Amino acid sequence: MQGDQPINAVLITDVLKVGVLVRNWTRKDELVSSSVISEVVKKLMDSEEGDEVGKRTEKFGNELREATADGGVSRIELDSFIAHISR
């Protein structure tokens, strides 16, 4: 677990807030116990924080689908890039 994974964890948990941290990256060599996983799952399934994460995740997913659909901004940019390199 190296490279971009710590940055991705910050993006998901602190910036986009569509996930929760299971273990701090400074403790990357430690095994995550089943009790820790259980606590995180319970937190996501049965708490106000979990509800908020779910709502943000759903909103983010909808925006992503719109951006990548025909006519979406990401799709337009990708098509433009492909057209440029295909000349």
Per-residue model confidence as pLDDT tens digits over 63-76: 999 999 999 999 99
* CA 22 to centroid of chain Cα atoms: 14
How many whole angstroms separate alpha carbon 60 and alpha carbon 66? Answer: 10
Q: Is the pLDDT of residue 1 over 80?
A: no
36: domain range? 5-85
Best CA proximity match to 83, nearest among 68, 75, 64:
75
Per-residue model confidence as pLDDT tens digits over 31-57: 999 999 999 999 999 999 999 999 999
The pTM of the full predicted model, rounded to 2 decimals, is: 0.72
Per the structure, the count of domains in the chain is 1
How many whole angstroms separate alpha carbon 4 and alpha carbon 70? Answer: 30
